[in-house]
């Protein structure tokens, strides 16, 4: 008998109920009981939904008020000392203090660090270890939820982050010291297992996505020892791996003393054969057949064929599941009433994915005739997606085929271009600029909303936006910046703005996915070949340029960033989609140049986050990603200056790829590290210009001139003065004008001081 199960379900609720309840609670509008009531409702709705789809083992413990990694840390009693005084352990107030750095008493604390969960856009709170870290089973959240689920009469399968991945993700000590903690950590996990056994739990899922990474041998040993130690006769362990394949860890993972193993066959279908070669018949094999990371409807016929193929070689017990937790997809497609009706037939969100599982099981148990209608709908979706004119654009295809090598590079090397640019753009030493956006005020937001709802005419909208641009230009004149921007008032979001003007994208109404805590994003869906019906930005930039003699930068989002922040096609390589985006943006770059724009910035804020989980796959990614950037930028004259901007700071391991992009100027985030990050560029002898961010825009604090001068001097010790630009870390849209004005004033003043000093030296 085939069983179906789920690894985790979105926890904010179909209408983001949890988000709104959390925000009300944080504002003090509702009490903990009211928050818990909303949470309990979401949990039971999710459980019932899964039960109604026949899910045999329903995950519990996948719900969280903020983050499940934090929940795990709390369960293990890993609560840094600074959270010991004040609100009591175990209280909600203390929990949110760790997550958000704010307590109900209004005091500020240093929150736990947040970082991305593997290669997803979900952010977790990093466990923080301290010297002589002790572990102690703390709180009863997991156990209480198990009981709640059991009370509804369902089979609970508790889900918990496995000990080794938890430890791997923790910070505060080196790897060796961390591994010394394993023994005492496992003692608590063993206690948890026993406790669950007492509650009548038969199966539990321990997530060890660590197994899909390049694993140092000590960590492999740690896994082996952990699962020997946790072997428990009362609770069976399903070891869950996802986001990639086991590769060289395959035979090792198959031999671990656990009762079951889950593998991701969406990200890594190639691992099926090696797993079958190694998998013992007495264990449960869980096949991740439904895509938990993307929004496409499954090809059920193909999934059934995979199961049939497995059954020929494997006689043991089979379970079917999504590839990973459904946390990474929106909740319910049925809410989408505004989407193209054909496109809708290609999609499946979390709820629909559960139904797919149910259909698969029915087909396997009662024969395909029992689900003839569902299979036919799936076939039809596959067929229509393969042939639909909505997806396939002959013009885009033929352009793709005619990309030549010289389209991927500028006409001349950087030194030549630099001369030409100096002639056409007389700029002082240490030119000052900003990253693109200026404060997005209430007025601006309202304007865009009114326009979207057709409450104002296009002409009125244009005029209102132009007056916003005028304001930005005047402010920049007063500040005395050297290179201006138009302020990006017309953009709600740096990806959505372009996606909405390109063919090949759809936007959902409710396709929210949790990013962290109560925060959600609504990624665009790239479903078809990309094309650009008309120019997107020149009118705004030209208008801005008409108001000033200073150069105004044209401002675009790069192809890799658009790709990495969208749901992408599953019928073509990401590299190809990136190239299609690049072609559309290349036309935009050339239109800007035609319109007389001398500096064009192509933001690649998310280039780094697309890096594959395994090192061995990095180079291939970097090659096509930087290629897409060069295809975007490569069509301009030497005199046109191409900038790029990146919102992060770890460059050491990818600096050659950054150099490969060959942007004339790159602006990066560095202020928080005291320019130390520039070392990567020094060691590499990075040839082009760099604008290391001189102040942190995430903080409302106004940087002092002296502080900026000091940072610039540190930068100057590392990089030639004539390579240096002066700019903030990132765009200013989240700040107010009251913060931005004095900050930029000080920045401009700091640049002036450096100029005077370097003249004196000469
Ligand atoms: N040009 C964009 C802005 O200034 C860049 C944003 C980003 O890097 N995230 O808002
Ligand atoms: Zn940025």
How does pLDDT run across 340-371, given as a tens digit for each residue?
Answer: 999 999 999 999 999 999 999 999 999 999 99
376 forms beta bridges with none
Span from the CA of 57 to the centroid of ligand 1 (angstroms): 44
Measured distance CA(482)–CA(463) in Å, rounded: 26
Span from the CA of 627 to the centroid of ligand 2 (angstroms): 21
- Pocket probe for ligand 1: among 490, 603, 665, the residue whose CB has the most ligand atoms within 8 Å is 603
What is the structure's pLDDT at 87?
A: 76
Output the residue whose Cα is nearest ligand 1's atom 4. Answer: 731
- pLDDT of residue 713 exceeding 70, the answer is yes
In angstroms, how far is the first alpha carbon of the chain from the final one? 83
pLDDT tens by residue, 279-322: 999 999 999 999 999 999 999 999 999 999 999 999 999 999 99
Residue entry with tokens 């609504």: 522
Span from the CA of 668 to the centroid of ligand 2 (angstroms): 7
CA-based nearest residue to 205, from 61, 10, 351, 44: 61
- What CATH architecture is 417-761? Alpha-Beta Barrel (3.20)
Confidence of residue 698 (pLDDT cuts 50, 70, 90): confident
506 forms beta bridges with 525
Tokens representing 547 are: 């108001």
CA-based nearest residue to 155, from 41, 47, 56: 56
pLDDT tens by residue, 522-576: 999 999 999 999 999 999 999 999 999 999 999 999 999 999 999 999 999 999 9
Residue entry with tokens 């096609």: 569
Beta carbon of 645 within 6 Å of any ligand 1 atom? yes
Confidence of residue 685 (pLDDT cuts 50, 70, 90): confident
pTM: 0.95
Residue 668, phi-psi category: left (phi > 0), alpha (psi -120 to 50), beta (remainder): beta
Phi, psi torsion values for 100, nearest 5 degrees? -120, -5
Tokens representing 704 are: 């002092």
Span from the CA of 732 to the centroid of ligand 1 (angstroms): 8
Beta carbon of 605 within 6 Å of any ligand 1 atom? yes
417: burial class by Cβ within 10 Å (0-12, 13-18, 19+)? buried
Span from the CA of 562 to the centroid of ligand 1 (angstroms): 12
CATH entry, 3-329, from 3.40.30.10, 3.30.70.20, 3.20.20.210, 3.60.21.10: 3.20.20.210
The total number of residues shown for the chain amounts to 762
CA-based nearest residue to 725, from 755, 701, 745, 700: 755
What is the structure's pLDDT at 761?
A: 66
What is the structure's pLDDT at 221?
A: 97
What is the structure's pLDDT at 320?
A: 98
Taking the CA of 491 as reference, the closest ligand is 1
Tokens representing 95 are: 């929990």
The rounded Cα 257 to chain-centroid distance in angstroms is: 34
CB neighbour list of residue 252: distance below 8 Å, 6 or more residues apart: 220, 223, 224
Which atom, in ligand 1's list, is nearest to the CA of 645? 8
Which atom, in ligand 1's list, is nearest to the CA of 434? 4
What is the structure's pLDDT at 762?
A: 54
- 330 and 296 in contact (C-beta within 8 Å)? no
Beta carbon of 435 within 6 Å of any ligand 1 atom? yes
Beta carbon of 659 within 6 Å of any ligand 1 atom? no
What is the structure's pLDDT at 71?
A: 98
CA-based nearest residue to 604, from 584, 637, 626: 626
Residues of the chain with CATH 3.20.20.210: 3-329, 417-761
Measured distance CA(94)–CA(755) in Å, rounded: 49
Which atom, in ligand 1's list, is nearest to the CA of 730? 8
DSSP secondary-structure letter at 408? G
Quick check: helix, strand or coil at residue 412?
Answer: coil
Residue 687, phi-psi category: left (phi > 0), alpha (psi -120 to 50), beta (remainder): alpha
Between strands 599-603 and 553-557, the pairing is parallel
186 forms beta bridges with none
| Beta-strand runs (E) in 211-292 | 236-240, 260-264, 284-290
Which atom, in ligand 1's list, is nearest to the CA of 436? 4
Measured distance CA(628)–CA(576) in Å, rounded: 9
Beta carbon of 558 within 6 Å of any ligand 1 atom? no
- Pocket probe for ligand 1: among 433, 436, 489, the residue whose CB has the most ligand atoms within 8 Å is 436
Confidence of residue 104 (pLDDT cuts 50, 70, 90): low
757: burial class by Cβ within 10 Å (0-12, 13-18, 19+)? middle
Beta carbon of 603 within 6 Å of any ligand 1 atom? yes
- pLDDT of residue 327 exceeding 70, the answer is yes
- Positions marked active-site: 698
- 377 and 331 in contact (C-beta within 8 Å)? no
Measured distance CA(407)–CA(634) in Å, rounded: 6
CB neighbour list of residue 675: distance below 8 Å, 6 or more residues apart: 692, 711, 714, 715, 718
Between strands 203-207 and 156-161, the pairing is parallel
Task: Tell me the average pLDDT of the chain.
Answer: 95
H/E stretch holding 461 reads helix 458-479
Confidence of residue 649 (pLDDT cuts 50, 70, 90): low
Which atom, in ligand 1's list, is nearest to the CA of 605? 8
CB neighbour list of residue 416: distance below 8 Å, 6 or more residues apart: 638
Measured distance CA(522)–CA(515) in Å, rounded: 10
pLDDT tens by residue, 259-271: 999 999 999 999 9
Quick check: helix, strand or coil at residue 634?
Answer: coil
Residue 378, phi-psi category: left (phi > 0), alpha (psi -120 to 50), beta (remainder): alpha
- pLDDT of residue 648 exceeding 90, the answer is no
What is the structure's pLDDT at 345?
A: 97
Span from the CA of 435 to the centroid of ligand 1 (angstroms): 6
Percent of the chain whose pLDDT exceeds 90: 91
Least confident of 101-105, 329-333, 569-573: 101-105
Measured distance CA(536)–CA(109) in Å, rounded: 44
DSSP 556-617: EE-HHHHHHTSB--SSS-HHHHHHHHHHHHHHHHHHHHHTT--EEEEE-TTTGGG--SSGGG
Span from the CA of 31 to the centroid of ligand 1 (angstroms): 37
- pLDDT of residue 169 exceeding 70, the answer is yes
Beta carbon of 591 within 6 Å of any ligand 1 atom? no
Which atom, in ligand 1's list, is nearest to the CA of 647? 8
Beta carbon of 169 within 6 Å of any ligand 1 atom? no
Stretch 104-111: mean pLDDT: 76
Taking the CA of 729 as reference, the closest ligand is 2
Q: Which residues surround ligand 2, an ion (CB under 5 A)?
A: 605, 647, 730
């Amino acid at each position: 008998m085939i069983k179906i199960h789920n690894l985790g379900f979105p926890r904010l609720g179909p209408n983001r109920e949890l988000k709104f309840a959390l925000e009300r609670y944080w504002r003090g509008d509702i009490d903990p009981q009211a928050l818990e009531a909303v949470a309990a409702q979401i949990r039971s709705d999710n459980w019932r939904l899964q039960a109604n789809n026949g899910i045999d083992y329903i995950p519990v413990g996948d719900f969280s008020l903020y983050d499940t990694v934090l929940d795990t840390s709390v369960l293990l009693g890993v609560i840094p000392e600074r959270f010991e005084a004040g609100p009591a352990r175990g209280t909600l107030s203390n929990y949110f203090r760790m997550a958000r750095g704010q307590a109900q008493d209004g005091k500020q604390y240093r929150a736990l660090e947040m970082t991305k969960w593997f290669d997803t856009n979900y952010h977790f709170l990093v466990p923080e270890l301290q010297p002589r870290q002790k572990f102690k089973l703390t709180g009863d959240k997991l156990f209480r939820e198990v009981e709640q689920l059991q009370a509804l009469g369902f089979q609970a399968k508790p889900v918990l982050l496995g000990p080794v991945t938890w430890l791997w993700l923790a910070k505060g000590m080196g790897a060796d010291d961390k591994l010394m903690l394993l023994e005492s950590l496992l003692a608590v996990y063993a206690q948890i297992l026993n406790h669950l056994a007492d509650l009548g739990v038969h199966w539990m899922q321990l997530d060890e996505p660590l197994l899909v990474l390049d694993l140092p041998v000590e960590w492999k040993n740690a896994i082996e020892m952990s699962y020997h130690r946790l072997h428990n006769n009362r609770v069976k362990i399903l070891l869950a791996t996802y986001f990639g394949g086991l590769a060289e860890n395959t035979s090792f993972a198959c031999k671990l003393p656990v009762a079951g193993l889950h593998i991701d066959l969406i990200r890594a279908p190639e691992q099926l054969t090696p797993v079958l070669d190694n998998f013992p018949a007495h264990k449960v094999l869980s096949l991740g057949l439904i895509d938990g990371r993307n929004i496409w409807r499954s090809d059920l016929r193909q999934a059934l064929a995979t199961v049939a193929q497995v059954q020929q070689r494997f006689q043991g017990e089979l379970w079917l599941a999504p590839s990973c937790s459904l946390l990474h997809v929106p909740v319910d497609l049925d809410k989408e009433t505004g989407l193209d009706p054909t496109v809708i037939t290609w999609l499946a969100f979390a709820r629909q994915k559960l139904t797919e599982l149910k259909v698969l099981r029915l087909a396997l148990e009662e024969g395909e005739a029992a689900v003839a209608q569902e299979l036919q709908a799936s076939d039809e979706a596959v067929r229509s997606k393969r042939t639909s004119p909505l997806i396939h654009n002959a013009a885009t295809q033929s352009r793709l085929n005619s990309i030549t090598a010289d389209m991927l590079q500028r006409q001349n090397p950087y030194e030549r271009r630099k001369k030409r640019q100096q002639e056409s753009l007389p700029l002082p030493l240490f030119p000052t600029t900003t990253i693109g956006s200026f404060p997005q005020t209430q007025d601006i937001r309202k304007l865009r909303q009114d326009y979207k709802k057709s409450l104002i005419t296009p002409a009125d909208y244009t005029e209102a936006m132009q007056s916003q641009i005028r304001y930005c230009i005047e402010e920049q004149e007063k500040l005395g910046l050297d290179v201006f921007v138009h302020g990006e008032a017309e953009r709600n979001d740096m990806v959505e703005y372009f996606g909405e003007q390109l063919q090949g994208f759809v936007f959902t109404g409710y396709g929210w996915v949790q990013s962290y805590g109560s925060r959600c994003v609504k990624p665009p869906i790239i479903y078809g070949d990309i094309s650009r019906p008309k120019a997107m930005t020149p009118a705004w930039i030209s208008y801005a340029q008409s108001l000033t003699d200073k150069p105004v930068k044209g401002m675009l989002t790069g192809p890799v960033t658009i790709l990495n922040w969208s749901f992408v096609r599953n019928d073509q390589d990401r590299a190809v989609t990136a190239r299609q985006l690049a072609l559309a943006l290349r036309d935009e770059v050339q239109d800007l140049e035609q319109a007389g724009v001398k500096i064009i910035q192509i933001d690649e804020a998310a280039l780094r986050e697309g890096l594959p989980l395994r090192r061995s796959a990095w180079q291939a990614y970097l090659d096509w990603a930087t290629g897409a950037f060069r295809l975007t930028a490569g069509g301009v004259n030497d005199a046109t200056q191409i900038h790029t901007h990146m919102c992060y700071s770890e460059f050491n391991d990818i600096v050659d790829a950054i150099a490969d992009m060959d942007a004339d100027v790159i602006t990066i985030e560095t202020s928080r590290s005291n320019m130390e990050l520039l070392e990567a560029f020094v060691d590499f002898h990075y040839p082009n210009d760099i604008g290391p961010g001189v102040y942190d825009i995430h903080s409302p604090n106004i940087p002092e001139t002296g502080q900026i001068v000091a940072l610039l001097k540190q930068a100057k010790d590392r990089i030639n003065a004539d390579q240096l630009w002066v700019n903030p870390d990132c765009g200013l849209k989240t700040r107010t004008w009251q913060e931005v004005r004095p900050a930029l004033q000080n920045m401009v003043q700091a640049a002036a001081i450096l100029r005077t000093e370097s003249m004196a030296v000469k």
